[in-house]
Amino acid sequence: MRIIATEADIRDGVRALRRKCATMRHVHDTAGDPPLRRRPAGFEGLARVIVGQQLSVASAAAIWERTAAACQPFEPATLLRLSDTRLAGAGLSRPKIRTLRAIAAACADGLDLTALESASNEEIHATLTAVVGIGPWTADVFIMFCLGRADAWAPGDLALQIALQRAFALAERPGKDDMMTLAERWRPWRGVAARLLWAYYAAAKAKATAVPV
């Protein structure tokens, strides 16, 4: 199992994708090299995935910084001691506070997130989605960015769906099944393909909102 740990791993994946897929060559030419985007594999990494859901990169970073500052050290027991008011003051919504508390409680009850590094993707999905508030998207992103698995894929991600629709000039935004089918060509580097498509989406969005000089 290939693990993405450094920028060199990203470059290896980009080269492989460019060789095998004309669409990926276009995506890379447009967006450039994607960022590494690695996170810790334990409680902190999973919490950061939750905090960043449905937010811009800048907003997610600001709220995470305030959340991490309020929870020192960033451990399950510390988070459980914080009041909802303190967490809301960091910018967290009520659903995210509930999910973070559920994760912290599960860890306090024996869930070992670092042990997931040796588990299969299916086992990881089953373990994480058993926690209230965690769905398949969170599990996919945890596998991709916290565990760094090179072939991870997030078929339910809206930005990926839009990026893939644009890259392939599809009439409609692909659903999860179509996302899985289309991404087969990128194995074993779907995690790098996802990073490229996210960068492609961001580049297209920035171009659409640019103010003409």
Q: Do 128 and 79 belong together in one domain?
A: yes
Q: What is the reported pLDDT for 211?
A: 53
- How far is 170 from 212, CA to CA, in rounded Å? 28
In a domain, 212, yes or no: no
53 and 32 in a common domain: no
pLDDT at 97: 97
SS3 60: helix
Helix (H, G, I), strand (E, B) or coil at 149: strand
pLDDT in tens, 168-184: 999 999 999 999 999 99
**Amino acid identity for residue 103 in this structure:** I
Say if residue 92 is in the same domain as residue 133. Answer: yes
pLDDT single digits (tens) 137-149: 999 999 999 999 9
Judge if 134 and 48 occupy the same domain: yes
pLDDT in tens, 39-94: 988 999 999 999 999 888 889 999 999 999 999 999 999 999 999 999 999 999 99
Cα 77-81-86 angle, rounded to 5 deg: 130
| pLDDT averaged over every residue in the chain | 95
Residue 213 lies in a domain: no
The CATH code of the domain that includes 181 is 1.10.1670.40
Q: Give the confidence band of 207 by pLDDT, cuts at 50, 70, 90.
A: confident
Statement to judge: residues 182 and 167 lie in one domain = yes
8-state DSSP, 118: G
Same domain, 123 and 52: yes
Three state DSSP letters for 160-172: HHHHHHHHCCCCC
pLDDT of residue 212: 58
Whether residues 162 and 130 share a domain: the answer is no
156, part of any domain: yes
Residues 173 and 96 in one domain: no
Domain co-membership, 96 together with 137: yes
d(CA 28, CA 71): 38
Q: What is the CATH number of the domain that holds 70?
A: 1.10.340.30
Residue 130: per-residue pLDDT? 97
Residue with more model confidence, 54 or 126: 126
Site of tokens 């960068």? 199
**For residues 15-29, average pLDDT:** 97
Alpha carbon dihedral 20, 23, 142, 58, in 10-degree steps, equals 140
Query: Is 24 in the same domain as 91?
Result: no
Residue 199 structural domain = 7-37+151-207
- What would the mean pLDDT of 195-205 be, rounded to a whole number? 94
Q: Has residue 1 been placed in a domain?
A: no
User: Which one of 146, 162, 187 terminates a domain?
Assistant: 146
Are 108 and 134 found together in one domain?
A: yes
User: Domain total for the chain?
Assistant: 2
Is 2 within the bounds of a domain?
Answer: no
Both 30 and 71 in one domain: the answer is: no
Residue 75 in tokens = 């451990």
